Amino acid sequence: MVYLKTAPTGIAAVNIGSQTIHSTLSISPRPTNGNYQSLLFAHEDRLKEIQRLDIFIIDEVSMVDSELFDFISQLFRHIRRQTSPFGNLHLICFGDLMQLPPVSSIKVFKSNFWQTLFPLFLTTYQWQKDDLAFASLLNEIRFGHLTASVKAALSQKYQHCTICDHAYLTMYIISYHIEARRLNQLLLNGLDTGQQIQYYALDYEEGQILQGYTTAYTFSRATNLPDIVTLAVGAKVMYLTNTLLPQGICNGSCGVNTAIGPLTYSMVTFPASDGIKVKIFVFTFLSLFFLCYYHMKKKTFTDD
Ranges in the chain, pLDDT < 50: 283-304
pTM over 0.85: no
Decide if 37 contacts 74 (C-beta within 8 A).
no
* Phi-psi label, residue 200: left if phi above 0, alpha if psi -120 to 50, beta otherwise: beta
User: What mean pLDDT value characterizes the chain?
Assistant: 81
Q: 61 vs 30, 94, 101, 108, 167, CA distance in Å? A: 22, 6, 9, 7, 31
As a whole number of angstroms, the distance between CA 107 and CA 9 comes to 16
How far apart CA 256 and CA 188 sit, in angstroms, is 12
Q: What is the 3-state secondary structure (H, E, C) of 82-114?
A: CCCHHHHCEEEECCCCCCCCCCCCCEHHHCCCH
The pLDDT of residue 73 is 96
Q: Which residues pair with 278 in a beta bridge?
A: 269
Greatest distance between any 2 Cα atoms in the chain: 64
pLDDT tens digits, one per residue of 205-242: 677 777 665 555 656 666 666 777 788 888 888 887 88
Q: Where are the domains of the chain?
A: 3-116, 132-161, 177-303
Closest CA to 25 of 81, 7, 239: 7
